[in-house]
Homo-oligomer: A and B are copies of this chain.
Amino acid sequence: MNGKASSQSAHRVVIVGAGFGGLNAAEKLASAPVQITIIDRENYHTFQPLLYQVATAGLSPGEIAAPIRSILSRHPNVEVLMAEVTGFDLDRRVVKTSEQEIPYDSLIVAAGARHAYFGHDEWEPLAPGLKTIEDALEIRRRVLLAFELAERRAAAGEGDDPLNFVVVGGGPTGVELAGTLAEICRHSLAGDFHSIDPRRARIHLLEGGEHVLPAYPEDLSRSALEQLRRLGVDVNTSAMVTKIEPGVIYIGNARMNAAVIIWAAGVAASPLGKTLGVAVDRAGRVLVEPDLSIPGQPEVFVIGDLAALKDASGKLLPGVAPVAIQEGRFVAKVIRTELDKNTERDGNSASQPRPAPRAAFHYHDKGSLATIGRAAAIAQFGKIHISGFMAWLAWLFVHILFLIGFRNRLLVFIQWAWSYFTYERGARLITGGTDLPGWDTAQSRVPGPKQAKEEISAVVEK
Judge whether B144 and A43 touch: CB under 8 Å: yes
A429 touches B144 (CB 8 A): no
Quick check: A100 and B155 within 8 Å, CB to CB?
A: yes
CB of A99 closer than 8 Å to a CB of B: yes
| In-complex Cβ contact of A411 among B144, B194, B414, B432 (8 A) | B414
Query: In the complex, which residues of chain B have a beta carbon less than 8 angstroms from the beta carbon of A427?
Result: 60-62
Name which of A66-74, A262-270, A282-290, A377-385 contacts chain B. A66-74
Q: Which of B145, B193, B443 contacts A69 (CB 8 A)?
A: B193
CA distance A145 to B427 in the complex (A): 24
A79 interface residue (CB < 8 Å to B)? yes
Q: In angstroms, how far is the closest chain B Cβ from the Cβ of A417?
A: 10
Given contacts A63-B60, A100-B155, A193-B69, contact A133 B414 (CB under 8 A): no
Copies in the complex: 2
Q: Are B194 and A98 in contact (CB under 8 A)?
A: no
Number of interface residues of A (CB under 8 A): 56
Check: A442 CB closer than 8 A to any chain B CB. Answer: yes
Within 8 A of B (CB), among A27-67: 42-44, 59-63, 65, 67
| Interchain CB contact under 8 A, A424 and B79 | no
A405 to chain B, nearest CB (A): 9
Verify if A134 is at the interface (C-beta below 8 Å from B): yes
Residues of A near any B CB (own CB < 8 A): 42-44, 59-63, 65, 67, 69-70, 73, 76, 79-83, 98-100, 133-134, 137, 144-145, 148, 151-152, 155-156, 189, 191-195, 407-408, 410-411, 414-415, 418, 424, 426-432, 442-444
In the complex, the 3 A-B pairs of residues with the closest C-beta atoms, listed nearest first:
A62-B427, A69-B192, A60-B60
